[in-house]
Each structure stands twice: as C-alpha cells, then as structure tokens.
C-alpha cells in the first residue's frame, strides 16, 4: 500500500521484531558489477535536440536548454559523484558545481574533443576525486581528445555500454577489478595501491594493464 508523504514523497514504515527474516542477508556483496541492471526505455517518437544545439542555446543564455542538458546528464553526473564520495549531500553539491560550470562557461567544452556526456563524466569524476583526497584541482585532461565510441546522449547506447562494462568487470579476476576500482574511484596512485593491497608495484602494474586490456576488448566488441 502506498502512502503519500505530505511533501509529496513516498516513505516506508516498518517495525522490527526479533526472529529470522526472509533471509535478507543472503545477498551478494556490493560491488560495481553487482549494480542492478536497469532497462532504459525512451520514447523514440519524442524529438530529441542534439547536445550541440542545446549548447549553442546555452551560450545564448537559454535557461530551458540548460535544464534539458541537466535532465539529460544530471543522473550520470550525480551517480558517479555519489560512487566516489559516498555521500548524497556532497554528490548534490558537486552536481550543482559541474552544471553551473557549464552554464557560466559553455565554451569550456569543445565538441571536437569528444562528447559532452563523456566530458561531464570526466569533470565530475576528477572533481570528486579532488574533494575525496582534499587535493588541489587536478590538471584538466581535456587538452586531449576523449575517444568515446558511444553516444552517451542516447539512453539506449548508454545502457548498452553499461552492460558491456559491467559484464567485463564481472569476469575480471577480483584482484584486477580491485585495482581498477582503487585507481578510478578512489584516485590512488600505483604506489598507493601497492601499499594498500600489500602487493609488489610490478604486480599492481600488471593487473591494471590486464584489466585495461580486457576493458578495451569488451568495448571494441
């Protein structure tokens, strides 16, 4: 039964009693590859304005175009921020920061260097790592093109890419996956990963190389 919260939200109430539940703990451990599989469905009949067109309108200070970009990519940016920072409030702040950066300086994104979606993800991830590690903002990587094969503006392509990456992460040896996660989502250097895992630096290098090669192979498939 659903009940509407006065604020419009739906909430759950539960009473906890002693006794054995319906095995609520019989679940696999949380990890990147165990994230729920979601089917993205979009109404294909709905006209979809291109990123370039929306960006052009943003540069002309069109608020509705900015809202469309926020709705198109906000979830992705928020999700990666939440994955790195593990705090909803901090992730929300970062979300605001990333999109206001785009609003105030839409030319900071150069379309010849890759897709807007990929660029926003890189900006969000890098800024989240800066916050996590309390370090000065890292040098931007957008001096170099971002080779992204998929169009992240398309939910269908985004969903397919998500499936591909999750599949490859699932079959990676756990130690390889761990190295990737420590590097990408915690921002650790190779030496820091070696210290954290207790493995020799050479082993860490080999693992990240093998993991990257598997990822490349899956994305090219």
Partner 1 sequence: MNGGIHIALEDLAFYAMGNLRDEERTRIHAHLQSCSECREELSAISGDLTALAVSVEQHPVPPAARQRFLDSLGTEVQAESVSETAPGVTPFPKPASRTAWLPWTIAAALGIGAAGLGVKVNTLREQLHNQSQLVARAQEESVRSQRVVNLLKSPGAQRATLTAAKTPVEPTGHAIYLADRGELIFQGNNLKRLPQGKAYELWVIPANGTAPLPAGVFVPDQSGDASVVMPPLPPGIAAKAFAITIERAEGSAAPSSTPVMSGVPTQGD
Applying the rule CB under 8 A, the residues between 21 and 50 that interact with partner 1 are 21-22, 24-25, 27-30, 32-36, 38
Interaction between residue 196 and partner 1 (CB under 8 A): no
Decide if residue 208 touches partner 1 (CB under 8 A): yes
Tell me how far apart the alpha carbons of residues 160 and 33 are, in angstroms, rounded to a whole number: 14
In the region spanning residues 120 to 159, those forming contacts with partner 1, defined by CB under 8 A, are: 121-122, 124-126, 129, 138-139, 141, 144-149, 152, 158
**What are the Cα distances from residue 47, in Å, to 44, 65, 66, 67?**
8, 14, 17, 16
The residues, ordered by sequence, that sit 6+ positions from 178 with a Cβ below 8 Å of its Cβ are 197
Q: Between the CA atoms of 150, 156, 160 and 163, what dihedral angle is there, to the nearest 10 degrees? A: 130
105 CB-near residues (< 8 Å, 6+ apart): none
Residue 184 in the binding site for partner 1 (CB under 8 A): yes
Q: Does 215 bind partner 1 (CB under 8 A)?
A: yes
Q: Which of 61, 173, 195, 200 binds partner 1 (CB under 8 A)?
A: 61
Kindly list the distances between the CA atom of residue 112 and the CA atoms of 94, 108, 139, 181, in Å, as whole numbers in the listed order: 25, 12, 19, 29
Q: Decide if residue 169 touches partner 1 (CB under 8 A).
A: yes
* Structure token digits, residue 86: 């593990």
User: What minimum distance in Å lies between the beta carbon of 53 and partner 1?
Assistant: 19
Site for partner 1 in 64-93 (CB under 8 A): 66-67, 70-71, 74-76, 78-80, 82-83, 86-88, 92
Q: How many residues bind partner 1 (CB under 8 A)?
A: 95
């Amino acid at each position: 039964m659903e009940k509407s919260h006065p604020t419009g939200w739906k909430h759950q109430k539960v009473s906890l009693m002693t006794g054995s539940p319906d095995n609520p703990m019989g679940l696999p451990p949380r990890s990147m590859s165990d994230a729920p599989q979601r089917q993205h469905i979009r109404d294909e009949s709905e006209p979809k304005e291109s990123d370039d067109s929306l960006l052009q309108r943003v540069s002309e200070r069109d608020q509705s175009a900015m809202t469309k970009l926020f709705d198109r990519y906000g979830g992705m940016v928020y999700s990666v921020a939440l994955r790195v920072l593990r705090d909803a409030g901090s992730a929300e702040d970062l979300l605001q920061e990333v999109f206001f950066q785009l609003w105030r300086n839409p030319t900071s994104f150069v379309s010849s260097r890759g897709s807007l979606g990929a660029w926003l993800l890189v900006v969000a991830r890098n800024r989240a790592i800066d916050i996590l590690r309390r370090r000065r903002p890292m040098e931007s990587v957008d001096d170099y093109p971002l080779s992204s094969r998929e169009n992240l503006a398309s939910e269908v392509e985004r969903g397919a890419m998500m499936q591909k990456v999750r599949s490859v992460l699932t079959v990676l040896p756990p130690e390889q996956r761990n190295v990737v996660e420590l590097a990408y989502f915690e921002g650790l250097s190779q030496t820091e990963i070696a210290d954290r895992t207790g493995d020799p630096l050479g082993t860490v290098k080999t693992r990240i190389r093998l993991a990257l090669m598997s990822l490349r192979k899956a994305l090219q498939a």
